[in-house]
Every structure is written in C-alpha cells, then in structure tokens.
Amino acid sequence: MSRLALRYFIFVLGLYFLSLGVVLIVISSLGTTPISSVNYVLSLNTPLTLGTATFIINMLLIIGQFWLIRGLGSKKDIFEILLQIPFSLIFSLFIDFNMAMLSGVHLSNYYLCIGVLLVGCLSQAIGVVLELKPNVAIMSAEGFVKYASRRYNKDFGKLKVRFDISLVTMAALISVAFSGHVDGIREGTLVAALSTGYIVSFLSRHVITRQHLDRLLAVVRP
C-alpha cells in the first residue's frame, strides 16, 4: 500500500468512526449531533433512511460550495469539492450499515442512554481526528463553511458555530412542520455540540498525533 493510499484508508476509517458516533448518539434517544440534526429529522418524518437523508443534504451542501466559489474557485477547489461526492456516499452507506447493525438495541435506562451518548461522542471525535490528520479530503459541511468563510471573509470557527446553530434551528422548524412538535433534538444534541471539540483537541494532541501518523507513513514504501 502506498503512502497516499494509506492516507485515504485512514480518512475512510475516520468516516466509519464518525458514522458510528452519529448512530450511537441517535440510539441513545437523547437527540443527535447538530450536523446530523436535519438529516435525522427528515429520516423520522419521511420514508428516507438516515443515510439517504444524509447523502441528500451533503449533495445540497456540495452544490452550495460550487455556488460559493463562483468566479473565485481554482481547479484544486473544484477537485476538492467533487471528491466529496464519493466520500459522502461511503459515509451515508456506513450510517445505514451501523443503523441496521444496531437496530435491535433499545435502551430503557437513562444512565445507560447517557453512557451510549458519551461513547458516541468519543467515536465521533475519533472519526474527526482520523479525517483531519491525513489531509487528503474534506467533508461537505466543513467544505461549505470553508468556502463561505473565504467568500465572505469571515472567521471559520465563528461561522461554523453559526452554521451548526442554523442546522439545529432548521431541524426544529422542519420537525414542527411535519409533526407539530420538536423531535430528534434533546440534551444529547447540546452535549455532542459542547464535548466533541474538546475530545478532538485532546486526541489530536495526545493520542492520534501528527507524529504518530508520520511514523506510520514512514514504514510504508512510497
């Protein structure tokens, strides 16, 4: 396996952990992550699976990125955005696979729900780190914020927070429109939003570091 292939393998492994984290948080019945809130609400109120809804939203975000780079995008930008399509498909398939695998899990104890929620947050954080470290691709949500921050000259971090809040707000409105009340957004959504970033920072600095990745790549022939 070449170094580049290994980087892509690590990225795809990150997508799996990320999908598992999303599914575990959903199974906890305490809500879902902000980035998956619209997808989850759609899956609750339409025949769409969570994976299918995720793929559709990702495609809309990809279209949005092309709109954001109009007149400013380079060939590299176009390639980066197009590369999101197959990875979005893989991520969506991973979500539906994990949903099917864990479909028989039903939690009745609230503390057990909290435990599954926290495991989901950890899995999601591992996925984020494994996505970022290889530096080979970017997922559609981060890509949308990246090109929006470039287009409007805004700070990425602040814009990401606004983006997440907008998704949760949109999910709540869609839920009310379909069912008359808010589904899929609970305390777990807040816990995931507040904790994942800190876990990512810890793992990135102390566990899955750039040095560890470089050592792994060093033993692989080009």
CA distance 18 to 95: 9
- Cβ within 8 Å of residue 66, ≥6 positions away: 73, 78, 81
Amino acid, res. 194:
L
CA distance 164 to 145: 10
Amino acid 85: pLDDT: 96
**Residue 198 pLDDT grade (very low, low, confident, very high; cuts 50, 70, 90):** confident
Question: Which tokens belong to 179?
Answer: 């069912």
**Residue 170 pLDDT grade (very low, low, confident, very high; cuts 50, 70, 90):** very high
Amino acid 72: pLDDT: 83
> Which structural domain range is residue 84 located in?
3-218
47-82 residue pLDDT tens = 999 999 999 999 999 999 999 999 887 889 999 999
Amino acid, res. 82:
L
Question: Which tokens belong to 18?
Answer: 């990320």
Instruction: Show the beta-strand stretches assigned E in 62-190.
Output: none
- Classify 74 in phi/psi space as left (phi over 0), alpha (psi -120 to 50) or beta: beta
Question: Which tokens belong to 198?
Answer: 């800190």
CA distance 40 to 51: 9
91-149 residue pLDDT tens = 999 999 999 999 888 888 999 999 999 999 999 999 988 888 888 899 999 899 999 99
Q: With contact defined as beta carbons under 8 Å apart, do 130 and 10 qualify?
A: yes
Among the listed ranges 34-43, 75-84, 211-220, which one has the minimum average pLDDT value? 211-220
Please tell me the total count of domains within the chain: 1
